[in-house]
Each structure stands twice: as C-alpha cells, then as structure tokens.
C-alpha cells in the first residue's frame, strides 16, 4: 500500500484492515474467509459521490497491475475501496465479491 499511497499523493484512511474471525463474522458474515482475515486486504475510505480514490484507481489501472492489487467492484463497497494482494477466484482485476 505504501507504493499506492506515494503515487496517490493524498492521505488514505484505513476503514478496515486485518480482521479476526470474530471481526469478520460481525462485519461481513457472508465472506468468513475474506482476505481481511489473512491481512491480505484493506479498505480505504472513499465516500460517494466523489469517489476520488476509486476514479484515480480506474485511471491508474496499469500501475495497480504492476503493484499487484485487485479491487472489489465499487457497487459492493460504496464508501470505500477494497484492495487485496491476491487475485480473486475469477482472476478479474475488478471483481464481484
């Protein structure tokens, strides 16, 4: 994430990082094995309607591919950008959770 923050050049507020099993059960019970439980995902605050970070990511996709992160589709995380360092089962760079 430090490479992304340096390139983004603005403060990035983590709204969710590592989650214990209990955290995950409370926050996202539909995905008990999310990469948050393996310290391989983090959520960065990015509220609608501005979506400043999300729009930056869309414009910097080549950079994000080089860094090696995948993003959850914005439709499923309207107040933050979910980054993860392992590909989802679909392999898609922007994926449906």
Contacting Zn ion (CB under 5 A), which of 43, 64, 69, 74? 43
Residue closest to Zn ion, measured at CB:
82
Q: Is 82 a residue that touches Zn ion (CB under 5 A)?
A: yes
The percent helix, strand, coil of the chain (3-state, each to 5) is 35, 20, 45
Q: Is 19 a residue that touches Zn ion (CB under 5 A)?
A: no
**Which of these ranges, 5-13, 47-55, 58-66, 82-90, lies near Zn ion under the rule CB under 5 A?**
82-90
Q: CA dihedral defined by 13, 82, 48, 15, rounded to 10 degrees?
A: -30
Contact residues: Zn ion, CB under 5 A: 43, 82
């Amino acid at each position: 994430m430090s490479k992304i923050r340096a390139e983004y050049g603005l403060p990035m507020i983590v709204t969710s990082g590592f989650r214990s099993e209990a955290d995950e059960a409370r926050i996202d019970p539909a995905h008990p094995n999310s990469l948050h439980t393996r310290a391989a995902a983090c959520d960065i605050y990015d509220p609608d309607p501005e979506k400043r970070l999300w729009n930056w990511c869309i414009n910097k996709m080549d950079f994000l591919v080089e860094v090696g992160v995948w993003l959850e589709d914005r439709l499923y995380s309207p107040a933050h950008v979910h980054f993860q360092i392992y590909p989802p089962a679909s392999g898609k760079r922007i994926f449906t959770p």
